[in-house]
Amino acid sequence: MPKRIDHTGIMVRDINASITFYEEVLGMKLKDRITHTNGVIELAFLGFEDGPETEIELIQGYSSELPAEGKVHHIALLTDDIAAEYTKAEKMNAKFIDEEITTLPNGYRYFYIEGPDGEWIEFFQR
């Protein structure tokens, strides 16, 4: 079972400008920044605490088509066993966005399913 909401992914046009905004205006701090395994998408995780908390994930390079009000890309649920969650979602006939579990260069693992109205839900293991 998921343990908590891990992060909310927000698509951005300029990740550096967004990091500056979240740090300087909102008082958050950059906790991790990586390039996705596809070599295109840049990810940055920001929060207020040094330890575990619900974070903001900035996503640059996923799409240049952003509405004027911005775009929340997904909500991520933290799990200790990503493989078990994947198997459970298969058994529940979930609509998968990813066909397999993806492992990022920093070891984080994830997959997405769709909610009933097409919203993206990520299962995420740190």
The residue from 55, 57, 85, 122 that is catalytic is: 122
Rounded mean pLDDT of 97-116?
Answer: 93
State the pLDDT at residue 63.
Answer: 82
Q: What percentage of the chain exceeds 90 in pLDDT?
A: 76
Arithmetic mean of pLDDT over the chain: 92
Contact by Cβ (8 Å): 27, 38:
no
Model pTM greater than 0.85? Answer: no
First to last CA, the chain: 15
Give the mean model confidence (pLDDT) for residues 107-118.
Answer: 89
Q: Which two tokens stand for residue 48?
A: 């207020």
CA distances from 100 to 48, 83, 90 (A): 32, 10, 11
Give 119's pLDDT tier (boundaries 50, 70, 90). Answer: confident
Does 90 have pLDDT greater than 80?
yes
122 is a catalytic site residue: yes
pLDDT at 1 over 90: no
In this predicted structure, the answer to whether residue 121 has a pLDDT above a threshold of 80 is yes
What are the structural domain ranges in the chain? Answer: 4-125
122/125 Cα distance (integer angstroms): 10
Integer Cα distance of 72 and 26 in angstroms: 18
**Residue 69 scores a pLDDT above 80:** no
Q: Average the pLDDT over 37-53 and give the result.
A: 94
Q: Return the CATH architecture of domain 4-125.
A: Roll (3.10)
